[in-house]
Amino acid sequence: MVGAVNPRTGEYDLADSELVSKCMWTKSYSEVKNKVNRRITPHHMAGMLTPQVLFNIMQQGNSSANYGVFSDGTVVQYVKESRRAWTSSSAENDNQAVTIEVENSTLGPEWRVSDTALNTLIRLMADIAQRNNISIRYTGDTTGTITLHKWFAATACPGPYLEGLMPEIAERASKGGLFMDLGIGLNTITFEDKKFEVIKGYGNYKQMYMLSAPGTPAVDRLQDITKFDSNQMMILGMINCDYFEMSRKDIYGLHYGAEFSVGDGINSQGLENPGYNPELLVFYQYKSGKCGWCRATSFYLAKHELNFAFSPYSIRFHEGREVNEISTCFANKELISTKQSAACMLMDGTWILINSIDNCIPQTVSNLMKALGAYEGVILDGGGSAQMIYIGQKIQYTGRALPNVLVLAAWKADQPVDEDLPIEEEKPSENEADELRERVKELEAIIQKVRDIVNE
């Protein structure tokens, strides 16, 4: 969590939201004893401003806001949520509200904002609501928990564009930033006229891990996707992962990218392979849940620090912001329409696996992840490698052997089994079955002897 020294108190104050990338504490605020936040009030900046320019305006002593959201998705905090920002021309509103200024992408009369700023605003509102136990309701007046500046002063703020979207903004924020309402588990959806299979994690099954194909030498092993398993896990869903290139296997092996994985040593194995090609990206997640990415030449983390690390085709979202970083060792495939695979994480840490039924370009998948409210998002290998398994069922299957897969799973040892997950029980081996049958016969004989004694 970022922070900075408050110029009024001299204390080092941390940001309230993990979405904040910088704290610029202004002196323009009021202390409120035991402030309880019941409202969220979005505003517009009435212009294209930088974080520093907005800070300078606040320092003049006439106005402030708890947060600023900018067109590139940057979130800056200016006033702690526990303090009253001077934003809405109403002490009654600001004494119980968290206020947000949003940068405009156009001037009046519409005062539009960028899509990135809009999506960031929604995620920030969802985060504020969750932490402050605010039930998001937009009613069009002050009876709701979303209020507008124009209701308290002679102003057009937040402008016609944001005001017109406020019902949708409130609905998405109330769902944690989701635009599309996914059910848990497997969903078949249509997006931009393309069909997708989407697995949304839940409960104990919302974390994602990586499994590698077993065998020695490790980097030369491939396996059918239906063979991947771990006796240490209960697996909800599975999807293909790393890129690999048969034509260069003599240089890099079949496990082409970074590969920090887990496995049981039978149906999968855990590797600590940092990746051998400097042109590859590495996407990883710390044990804490925070994600990061870099080029392979800059990747120096240890396996015990991470849930996983792998090399995707491209990274599309990081910390709620849109990016488009591509592993440059592969030809640019942005205009190639084929089967696609992807994974994204929501702001609450829930991972989602995505597989396209129809051929589409990577941007379509990126747009889908955006509509789902992706906080982190990557596009994986596509074409014949794009495959998906859901609770042992082949959702998309090509038969192409893979070096590794991503799974939504719960650890058997650490987490109780979710009774809602219809995973088949393990069947005993033939030897175990024979032993059980003999034991049953012995028990039946004992029971019969007891009956004979009772009847004598």
129: Cβ contacts below 8 Å, ≥ 6 apart = 40, 135, 136, 145, 173, 174
- Domain 3-174, what fold? Lysozyme-like (3.40.80)
Higher-pLDDT residue of 263 and 119 is 263
pLDDT, tens digit, for every residue of 200-246?
999 999 999 999 999 887 777 889 999 999 999 999 999 999 866 65
Q: Which of 16-20, 321-325, 352-356 has the lowest mean pLDDT?
A: 321-325
Contact in structure between 75 and 24 (CB atoms under 8 Å): no
Contact in structure between 209 and 307 (CB atoms under 8 Å): yes
What local confidence, expressed as pLDDT, does residue 219 receive?
A: 72
The pLDDT of 329-347, averaged and rounded, is: 89
pLDDT, tens digit, for every residue of 83-94?
999 999 999 999
Check residue 233 and report its DSSP letter: E
pLDDT, tens digit, for every residue of 274-317?
876 778 899 999 999 999 999 888 898 999 999 999 999 999 99
Does 426 score more than 70 pLDDT? no
Does 327 score more than 60 pLDDT? yes
Q: Is it true that the peptide bond before 109 is cis, omega within 30 degrees of 0?
A: yes
pLDDT, tens digit, for every residue of 54-65?
999 999 988 999
For the chain, the domains span: 3-174, 185-411
Does 454 score more than 90 pLDDT? no
The pLDDT of 364-378, averaged and rounded, is: 90
**3-state class of 417 per DSSP?**
coil
Look at the pTM and tell me if it is higher than 0.85. Answer: no
Q: Is it true that the peptide bond before 158 is cis, omega within 30 degrees of 0?
A: yes
The pLDDT of 177-196, averaged and rounded, is: 83
What CA–CA distance (Å, rounded) separates 150 from 8? 30
**3-state class of 8 per DSSP?**
coil
Question: Above pLDDT 70, what percent of the chain?
Answer: 89
Higher-pLDDT residue of 115 and 263 is 263
Q: Given pLDDT bands bounded at 50, 70 and 90, which one contains residue 320?
A: confident
Closest CA to 152 of 94, 196, 89, 78: 89
Q: Which of 74-83, 252-261, 265-274 has the lowest mean pLDDT?
A: 252-261
Does 424 score more than 60 pLDDT? no
Q: Which of 166-175, 192-201, 342-351, 424-433 has the lowest mean pLDDT?
A: 424-433
CA dihedral 240→241→245→250, nearest 10 degrees, is -110
